[in-house]
Amino acid sequence: MHLNTHTLSLLGSALLLAIGSGAAQAKDWPSGFSKCADQAGTCKIGSETRQVSFGAKDKWVVKNLQGNVLCDTASFGSDPLAGQAKKCAVGPLASTPAPTPTPTPTPSPSPDASSEAAPAGGWASYGAGTTGGRGAASNAIYTVSSAWQLQEALKVKSSAPRIIKVYGSIDMESADNGGKFKNSSDQAARNALSLPSNTTLIGLGDSAQIRNARIVIRNVENVIVRNLQIVNPCDIAPVWDPNDGSSGNWNSEYDGLVVEGAKRVWIDHNTFTDAPVTDDLAPVVNGKTKQCHDGALDVKKAADYVTVSNNLFELHSKNNLIGSSDSASEDDGHLTVTFHNNYFRHVAERAPRVRFGQVHLYNNYFEGAKSRPVYAHKYSIGVGYKAKILSQHNVFEVSGASSCKDVIQNPGSSSKTGAIVDSGSLLNGVTLKLGGDSGCSFSSAIGWTPPYTAKLLPAASVRESVKQNAGAGKLQVR
């Protein structure tokens, strides 16, 4: 018997429930597989190594095997459905033969993004760098396409590198994770995806998606998240606070992704969006939209060495919070974050809002409109308490904006502001001007320089480059 890569997978399986659909018929093996034995029987695979599943009712493990294999837990290393009868099924060949050599040279294989490390040009490359799951052993590479499988891959107790490849759409409200959230405590208990140290979480293909989840990177090190469409979670029970602002506001929990107290994190080539649950679909209660979304991506609690690159952030209100509050003094001297080559499309505010952090913003493209009926642009960069922002070659194309104050503001107390310097940025095709009569009268004493070299595109090239490259579905993952 020959054992190959251990996965919690369903390569070739049908996608699970779409959001809002009813329960589908449970399956005992992945789509395209054929039953070969009941539990305790013998599965006759043949001399070639094939994918073989073991499980039932949409829960199974898959291994690459050959020969005659006993259909039991010992052969597969885990029990995906304890206490219930399971089945084995044979799938496609584990690998295809290499092509016959020809006299002409063959091109080098395309790089596999799942093993890439954070490149130079951002805080995540500083010091030891960010490698995530690079070098993971074959039994620590998982392919998952359901909430249950993803949670199982995350729960493995090990600090060794792991790579988790997401296939298709994973919904934390799917049947295999308990179905629809029943109340706020149930949502809080079941919607978290907590990533351990030395992990790469990456999407396969151009349609890998995570819904109804909050991805949490908390008090760990060396984590990479790439090539995923992340649907920003919707709190099922927003809370009305009559003392928030001049006329009250609805407040929600759950960010699409949050980095808290973590170090060496790379968030790259993802798409963050409220769609399909956009704010125009929410009811108006107490005179305000009953907002069910919180942040898209926040960095807090003294996190360090974070790069946010090549992402598409769209259709969202309060997008990126760097530093949780003016009183979070533990953040001072931390929150080292780089945002580069990101596309902010119809993001109302906080792109990002910064407190305390040494934040580098370069080659980002901002698109919006002050008069848009939903997600109307308020400001992009928030210069909050003790912020230390270096801005370079960013491009703002915002209908209705005429000067710096329309895109860069201090959204908090005027007595608690920060510092920002800018070079080479454009606002609606004209050089962005800080200071003077622009309405952006901030200190320029940021007090730091990047410990890396950024590859700055000229501002005239930023729009097309970012629109072409940002977002999920752009990476080669094998």
Examine residue 419 and state whether it is found in any structural domain, yes or no.
yes
Examine residue 189 and state whether it is found in any structural domain, yes or no.
yes
Q: Tell me how far apart the 2 most distant CA atoms of the chain are, in Å.
A: 81
The pLDDT > 70 percentage for the chain reads 91
Which residues sit opposite 397 in a β-bridge? 367
327 and 262 share one domain: yes
249 and 348 share one domain: yes
What would the mean pLDDT of 345-352 be, rounded to a whole number?
98
Q: Give the chain's domain count.
A: 2
pLDDT of residue 9: 42
358 and 264 share one domain: yes
Phi and psi at residue 301, in whole multiples of 5°?
Answer: 55, 55
Confidence of residue 63 (pLDDT cuts 50, 70, 90): confident
Domain range for 222 is 113-469
CA dist list (Å): 48 to 19, 25, 269, 372? 39, 31, 37, 59
What would the mean pLDDT of 407-432 be, rounded to a whole number?
96
Examine residue 102 and state whether it is found in any structural domain, yes or no.
no
Least confident of 12-26, 85-99, 110-124: 12-26
Where among 92, 126, 161 does a domain terminate?
92
Q: What is the pLDDT of residues 352-361, one digit of tens each?
A: 999 999 999 9
294 and 405 share one domain: yes
73 and 181 share one domain: no
- For the beta carbon of residue 237, count every other beta carbon within 10 angstroms: 12
Examine residue 327 and state whether it is found in any structural domain, yes or no.
yes
Strands of 312-318's sheet, edge to edge? 169-171, 209-211, 229-231, 271-273, 312-318, 343-349, 365-369, 395-399, 426-427, 430-431
Q: Which residues are catalytic?
A: 350
Burial class (CB in 10 A: 0-12, 13-18, 19+), 290: middle
- For the beta carbon of residue 20, count every other beta carbon within 10 angstroms: 9
65 and 204 share one domain: no
Supply the pTM of this predicted model: 0.80
Examine residue 19 and state whether it is found in any structural domain, yes or no.
no
pLDDT of residue 30: 86
pLDDT of residue 11: 36
Examine residue 5 and state whether it is found in any structural domain, yes or no.
no
**Given a cut of 50, is residue 287 above it in pLDDT?**
yes
pLDDT of residue 245: 78
259 and 394 share one domain: yes
CA dist list (Å): 289 to 251, 295, 371? 10, 16, 17
Which helix (H) or strand (E) segment holds residue 221: the answer is strand 221-226
**CATH number of the structural domain spanning residue 325:** 2.160.20.10
Where among 42, 58, 92 does a domain terminate?
92
81 and 129 share one domain: no
What would the mean pLDDT of 319-346 be, rounded to a whole number?
97
Closest among 5, 178, 162, 151 to 77, alpha carbons compared? 5
66 and 166 share one domain: no
CA distance 258 to 215: 6
CA distance 410 to 163: 40
The overall average pLDDT reported for the chain is 90
Examine residue 108 and state whether it is found in any structural domain, yes or no.
no
189 and 65 share one domain: no
Examine residue 13 and state whether it is found in any structural domain, yes or no.
no
43 and 137 share one domain: no
pLDDT of residue 31: 82
355 and 236 share one domain: yes
